[in-house]
Every structure is written in structure tokens, then in C-alpha cells.
Amino acid sequence: MFLAGAAVGLLSVLLTKLGNPPNMGVCVACFLRDVAGGLGLHRAQVVQYLRPEVAGFVLGSFLLARSRGELRAAGGSSPLIRFVMGAFVMVGAMVFLGCPLRMVLRLSAGDLNALVGLFGFVAGIYWGLFFLKRGFYLGRSQSLPQANGYVMPLMAAALLALLLAHPSFVFFSEKGPGSMRAPVLASLLVGLAVGALAQRSRLCMAGGIRDVLLMGDFHLLSAFGGIFLSALVFNLAVGNFKLGFVGQPIAHSDHLWNFLGMSLVGLGSVLLGGCPLRQLIMAGYGDADAAVTVLGMLFGAAFAHNFGLASSPQGATLAGKVAVVVGLVFSSALAAYGAGVFESAFSPAAREGEA
């Protein structure tokens, strides 16, 4: 796990040297935001590009699973809830400006704003575990026709085809983060490698922290130790390390909303059974529930930029703050209902006890 994480960390920071935005060698949330813009789902001109890494994550997972006989199509576990919660996870990430993986990469470059986000992420997971331990459950997935396992890989291949064909209806940023990109082949190869490594190792930061809090098991989390250390060494070696809160690339120091934005990401990720990267990887090997979550995240990214929810280096917007609070309340209420908290609180036995 540690070595797999170290490889992912090294590949991620390598992409920044090849042209990806600073401290954003790999960021699932940012990449999905750019893809949404490239497809015209939002019109924020600085974040529009069909990131080949996204296709690589899905195809890398698919190809390894297919070669090992692990491709299993399944789904049907609360798809509408997964779609909406996936959208809220993306809103939280857009307020923080990054997914859990980018949070670790930002830390490895000295961005202490990401440390605030990490505390929020852990708090959100801890809050989600409160409901999981009380019985919250999205339902059992059912086996589906095997054709379902090929839908997301085909969509990933179509994304690559659009990138290479560059038709007029696809948008490409000419300035801003969307214009900063490594060569297509390098990005695709890194995406394939990260997808395969994440599929084989079950890489998931939300799952790693969940296992530590529940069982004291550091196995999954050790991969993120590898990501952090390898990226830290690389950043120190090439002079990319800058310790502090101020002046960090594509980040802000609105601490409360860094904390709450990542709290929403942590809460949604643990309830959904995986962080954004994990959802893409599971979608690659046939999990239709994860695929629905990814589509929800894509919708959330478009919604965040169409309605001014996404933060900027100047800080979180009022609309973004409201959306994070709504997301936390909605997700908590949904989890409480699913865990039977309301039923136990308002049952006849509870009322008699109060009397």
C-alpha cells in the first residue's frame, strides 16, 4: 500500500512539472470540473478542458479488472441518493478547491490551508461514522447484465476521442487552470497507471481514515503516507515547497470554509463508500452505483460554476457557503433518517420515557 501510494504521489507531482497547474498534478474534483466545462455544462472559461487523466483512471481500472477477471457489473443501491450526494461532495470540494488527493498534494508542497481542510475531512468522516454505526445503509447492490460494466469505459474512450478530434462544440481554456496541462500522452499514461494502482490497492483516503477511526487499522491510510512523502521529497528537490497559508497556488485562506467544505466531502464520501477517486475507480470495473455518483459529481461541478458556488483564491462566495451548509444539513438529515434516528427519537417508547 505504501509503495503504491508513493508511486501515485510521484506521478502526480510529475504532471505539475509537465504542465498541470501547481499543486494539482492529480485532483479528481478539479479534473471533473474541467471536463464539465469542456463539454459546455458550465461556461467558466478558465476551467474548460477534457482532462485525459479522467479517462485514464477509468480505463486503467477497467483494463486491470478485465485482465484479472474482476469485472463485475452491479448496481441499484439508492441511485438517486447517490447522485445528489455525489453533487454535494463536489460542491464541498469546489469550496475547498480540491479533492482529498489534492489536499494531500497541497500539504506536501507546504500549503497549510490544506491542513485545515484535513481536519475538516476527518471531522466529516467521524460524523458520518456516527450514522453508519447506527445502521445507515444505502441498500444492497444487485448483479446486472455484464454490458453495464462497459458503459463507463466506453464513455471514457469517447472523452478521449473528443479530446483528440477537438470539435467546435468542445471548449478549451486559453487562460487559467484549464489552460495549464501536461501533454496528452503523458497525462493519459499517468491516468492509466494511477487507475490500475488504485484499483489493485483499493486506494481511498476516506476509507483509510474510516478504518483508523473504527478499527485502528492503518493499512489503507498508509498509501496516503506514501503519497505525501514521495510528493514532499519531489517538491523539496525541485524547489516547489513553500510553507505557509498565504500565496499558495489555487487556494484560499478562508479557514472556516476550508474546514466545512472538506467536512462535507468527508461526510458524503464515507456515506457513499468512497472518495471521488475511489468512485471513478469502482465505476471503471463495473460498479454502476459508483458511476451514478460520478455523474452526480459531474453535475455538481457544473452547478457550482453556473451558480457561483465555487471558491476563488480570494475566498469562498456567499452562495458557496450557503450550499455547504445546505449540503451538511441535507446529508446529515438523510443519514439520520436512514439510521432510524428520527424513528427512535419519536417512537411511543421514547415519548413514554420523556413523560
What is the residue range of 268's domain? Answer: 2-354
Total of domains in the chain: 1
- Helices H, strands E: what count in the chain? 16, 2
pLDDT reported for residue 343: 66
Backbone angles phi, psi at 342, to 5 degrees: -65, -40
Distance CA 102, CA 88 (A): 18
How many angstroms separate the Cα of 286 from the Cα of each of 57, 119, 159, 325, 339?
A: 13, 33, 18, 33, 28
Amino acid at 185: L
Count of residues in the chain: 355
Distance CA 261, CA 309 (A): 11
- Mean pLDDT of successive 10-residue stretches along the chain, which has 355 residues: 94 94 94 97 96 98 95 94 98 98 97 98 97 94 95 97 95 96 97 96 94 95 95 93 95 98 98 96 96 98 97 97 98 93 60 50
pLDDT reported for residue 345: 54
Distance CA 315, CA 312 (A): 5
Reference 4, options 279, 221, 326, 301; nearest CA is: 221
Burial class of 238 by CB neighbour count within 10 A (0 to 12, 13 to 18, 19+):
exposed
Distance CA 116, CA 67 (A): 41
Amino acid at 294: V
Per the listing, cell 502526480 goes with 12
